[in-house]
C-alpha cells in the first residue's frame, strides 16, 4: 500500500500543500474550518504523521520534545538514550532539536519544538535565558537536565558538580600534585558548581587555585593549553570542565611534545563513551547519563499526566573513574624547557577502570525541592 503524502491530504481537503504544512505545524494562522478539514482528511487517509494530526485535533499529544545543547558532545546522546527508553515504554515518541550552544539559536529551536505541540519538553543543558524557559513552562511541562531552576513548574536533574570537582582534586593531590589548573566551562550551565568545587578543594588542601578560561569543547581545551604553554605557566595536572575539553587539552599537550600522564596528568568530567575508548582511557568524573535521561522522562510524564504539581529536584552523586591519564608528577624538569618534559616518577597508570573505593558502584540519588 502506497503511503499517502501531504499532497494527497491537500487534494482531499481542497486546500494547498502549504496550508496542510501549516496545520501540521500547529500554526495559529489557519482558520478553524480549514484546520478541521485538513485534520479530517489526514485521518481518513491515515497520513503519517497521523498521530500528530490526532494530537492536534484532540489537544493531546504522545510526543515529547527534546532540545540538545551540543550534538557533538557524546554526553547528550547518552542522556537521550535514557529519555527514549522511558518514552517508548510509556507509548511516547520523541522529537529532537538543537540550539548549538547559542542563546539565539536555542530560542528558535525552542519555538520550533513548541510548534509541534508536544506533551512536554526536556531541555539538555540549555543556555537560553531563564525568562524564555519560564515563558515556555506556562504552556507545557518542562524538565531541565544539567541546569538549575527555581521555577516551581520546572523540574530539574543534575549532578553535584561541586562534589565531582572535589573528587578530582582530591585524587590528583593524593598522587602528589600541587599545581593543578582547572580549564573552566565558561558560560556552560554547570561550570559554576564545578568551578566552586575545584576552588574549595584546592583551598582545603592549602593550594593556590588556577582557573583558566575555557569552554565545553575540544577546541577550547586545546586553546587553553596553548595559552598556558605560551605563558610558561603549565601545571603538573589539569582538571577539564568535561571529557570533550580534556581530549582537546591532551591533543595540545602531545602536539607540544609532552606526555600524558608522565609529564602532565589530565582529568575529564562526564565519563562519556569517548573517555572509555582504549586509546583515550581518560580519568574522569562519572555522571550517570542514561539515568539522567530516565529520571527526566519520568518527571516529565508525571507532569503530563498531572500526577503531581510540586517541583522535583534530582541531584545525583558523581564518582571518580581512574584510568590512564593520571599519575604522580614528574620528579625532574628539563632546564632548557620552560614548561618541562621529563620521565614520570614511576608508572602508576594501570589498565582499565579503577572506580574509587569511596564511591558506590551505582549512583546514589538525592531528590530535593529548592
Strand ranges across the sheet with 319-322: 284-286, 319-322, 354-355
**Residue 211 CB neighbours (<10 A):** 14
pTM of the predicted structure, to 2 decimals = 0.76
The reply to whether 107 and 169 lie within a common domain is: no
Buried b (16+ CB within 10 A) or exposed e, 310-319: ebbbbbbbbb
The reply to whether 31 and 145 lie within a common domain is: no
The reply to whether 282 and 296 lie within a common domain is: no
> 243 lies in a domain?
yes
Task: Categorise residue 122: left if φ over 0, alpha if ψ from -120 to 50, beta otherwise.
Answer: beta
The reply to whether 329 and 191 lie within a common domain is: yes
Q: Spell out the per-residue pLDDT of the chain, length 370, in tens.
A: 577 888 899 999 999 988 988 887 777 888 999 999 999 998 898 886 545 555 555 456 889 999 999 888 899 999 999 999 999 999 999 999 998 889 999 999 999 999 888 999 999 999 999 999 999 999 999 999 999 999 999 999 999 999 999 999 999 999 999 999 999 999 888 999 999 999 999 999 999 999 999 999 999 999 999 999 999 989 999 999 999 999 999 999 999 999 999 999 999 999 999 999 999 999 999 999 999 999 999 999 999 998 888 999 999 999 999 999 999 998 634 433 444 443 333 333 344 454 443 343 334 333 333 3
CA-based nearest residue to 96, from 74, 72, 69: 69
Domain that holds residue 180: 161-287+318-367
* Domains in the chain, number: 3
Q: What is the dihedral of CA 156, 158, 163, 168, to 10 degrees?
A: -160
CA distances from 341 to 170, 261, 330, 338 (A): 24, 11, 8, 9
Instruction: Say which residue the cell 519560564 belongs to.
Output: 134
pLDDT value of position 203: 99
What distance in Å separates the CA atoms of residue 346 and residue 368, rounded to the nearest whole number? 44
pLDDT value of position 170: 99
Buried b (16+ CB within 10 A) or exposed e, 245-259: bbbbbbbbbeebebb
> 1 lies in a domain?
no
The reply to whether 67 and 170 lie within a common domain is: no
pLDDT value of position 284: 99
The reply to whether 87 and 216 lie within a common domain is: no
351 DSSP β-pair partners: none
The reply to whether 92 and 14 lie within a common domain is: no
Phi, psi of 210 (to 5 degrees): -135, 90
pLDDT value of position 348: 39
The reply to whether 177 and 229 lie within a common domain is: yes
pLDDT value of position 251: 98
> 244 lies in a domain?
yes
The reply to whether 149 and 165 lie within a common domain is: no
What distance in Å separates the CA atoms of residue 348 and residue 238, rounded to the nearest whole number? 17
Amino acid at each position: 500500500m502506497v503511503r499517502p503524502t501531504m499532497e494527497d491530504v491537500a487534494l482531499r481537503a481542497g486546500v494547498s500543500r502549504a496550508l496542510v504544512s501549516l496545520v501540521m505545524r500547529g500554526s495559529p494562522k489557519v482558520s478553524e474550518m480549514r484546520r478541521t478539514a485538513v485534520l479530517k482528511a489526514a485521518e481518513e487517509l491515515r497520513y503519517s504523521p497521523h498521530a500528530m494530526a490526532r494530537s492536534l485535533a484532540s489537544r493531546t499529544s504522545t510526543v515529547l520534545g527534546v532540545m540538545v545543547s551540543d550534538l557533538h558532545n557524546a554526553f547528550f546522546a547518552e542522556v537521550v538514550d535514557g529519555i527514549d527508553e522511558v518514552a517508548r515504554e510509556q507509548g511516547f515518541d520523541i522529537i529532537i532539536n538543537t540550539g548549538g550552544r547559542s542563546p539565539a539559536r536555542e530560542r528558535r529551536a525552542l519555538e520550533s519544538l513548541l510548534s509541534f505541540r508536544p506533551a512536554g519538553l526536556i531541555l539538555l543543558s540549555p543556555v537560553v535565558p531563564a525568562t524564555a524557559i519560564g515563558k515556555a513552562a506556562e504552556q507545557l511541562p518542562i524538565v531541565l537536565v544539567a541546569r538549575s531552576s527555581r521555577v516551581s513548574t520546572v523540574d530539574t536533574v543534575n549532578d553535584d558538580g561541586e562534589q565531582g570537582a572535589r573528587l578530582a582534586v582530591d585524587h590528583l593531590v593524593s598522587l602528589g600534585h600541587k599545581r593543578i589548573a582547572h580549564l573552566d566551562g565558561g558560560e556552560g550551565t554547570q561550570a559554576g558548581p564545578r568551578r566552586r568545587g575545584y576552588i574549595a578543594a584546592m583551598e582545603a588542601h592549602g593550594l593556590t587555585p588556577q582557573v583558566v578560561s575555557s569552554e565545553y569543547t575540544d577546541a577550547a581545551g586545546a586553546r587553553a593549553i596553548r595559552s598556558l604553554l605560551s605563558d610558561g605557566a603549565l601545571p603538573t595536572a589539569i582538571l577539564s570542565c568535561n571529557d570533550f575539553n580534556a581530549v582537546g587539552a591532551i591533543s595540545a599537550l602531545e602536539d607540544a611534545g609532552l606526555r600524558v600522564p608522565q609529564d602532565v596528568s589530565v582529568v575529564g568530567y562526564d565519563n562519556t563513551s569517548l573517555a572509555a575508548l582504549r586509546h583515550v582511557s581518560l580519568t574522569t568524573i562519572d555522571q550517570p547519563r542514561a539515568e539522567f535521561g530516565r529520571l527526566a522522562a519520568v518527571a516529565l510524564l508525571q507532569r503530563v499526566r498531572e500526577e503531581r504539581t510540586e517541583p522535583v529536584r534530582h541531584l545525583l552523586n558523581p564518582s571518580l573513574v581512574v584510568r590512564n591519564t593520571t599519575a604522580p608528577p614528574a620528579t625532574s624538569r628539563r632546564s632548557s624547557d620552560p614548561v618541562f618534559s621529563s620521565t614520570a616518577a614511576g608508572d602508576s597508570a594501570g589498565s582499565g577502570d579503577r572506580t574509587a573505593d569511596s564511591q558506590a558502584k551505582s549512583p546514589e540519588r538525592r531528590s530535593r525541592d529548592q
